[in-house]
Every structure is written in C-alpha cells, then in structure tokens.
Amino acid sequence: MNVVIMGCGRVGAQLAALLEEAGHKVAVLDTEPYSFRRLPAAFKGTPLVGDGTDEEYLKKAGIEEADAFVAVTQGDNRNVMAAQIAKHVYNVPKVVCRIYDPIREELYHTLGLETISPTMVGAQLLRDKVVG
C-alpha cells in the first residue's frame, strides 16, 4: 500500500516505522524538519517538509496514488481539514484522522470520517486499569 502520514510526532513516526516494516510505501509530512529525527535511522520512505492542509504538499507526498491517508498532527482542526481534503478531493480509499476532542470526534465520525480520539481511548484504558 501507498500511505501518506501527516504529522511526524511520536505516533506518526512510530506508525511510519510499523507500516514500513510491514512492507508498505510510506511518505511522512511535517512542517518542522526537526520532527523527522523520530523516524528510524533505516527509514526508506519519503520525509517531506510541508503543510498537509495545502494541496501542493499533499500532491508532492503522493496523495493522488495513495491507498491510505492518516492525519496525526497536534491540531485537531488541521487533522480534520487534511482528512477531508484526502477523502473528498482526492478520494483516498482509507482515511483515518486523530481528534483529541471527543465531542468533535463524535461529530466528524457521524459526518463519515474514520476517527480516533486518544482522549477517549486513553481514559477508558486507564479506567479499566484502575477499576478492573
């Protein structure tokens, strides 16, 4: 699969490494080149400096041939906007978007985006540890 990841934080970099290990072709976008230090030393994919809400950089990252797009920057709104561009403009078959705010997550989920709220997932896991 061709995968474009927006945001090279801990999660983005780790995901890139996992996907590459599994044999997928990965491009990672981040506005801050220093973030790419988190990628494994042997990373063969494409690190690309640029804003994933800008179609120019999405195209450079190969969005037109992508099978999947993942938005994991720190900004919920940036993730939401980039995910909608990938889904509605470039018709990427699989689009996943991280949204910290659980209420916004629920809304965009009902609007048809595939979303994950780490706030919700994290709190539930911790609760299970505490009371389980």
Q: CA-CA distance, 100 to 76, in Å (whole number)?
A: 6
18 part of the interface to another protein, by CB under 8 A: no
Residue 123 binds another protein (CB under 8 A): no
Is residue 80 involved in binding another protein (CB under 8 A)? yes
- Choose between 8 and 57: whose C-beta lies nearer to another protein: 57
Q: What are phi and psi of 40, to 5 degrees?
A: -60, 150
| 60 scored as a contact of another protein (CB under 8 A) | no
**Interacting residue ranges for another protein, rule: CB under 8 A:** 53-56, 75-78, 80-81, 84-85, 88-89, 101, 103-104, 107, 110-111
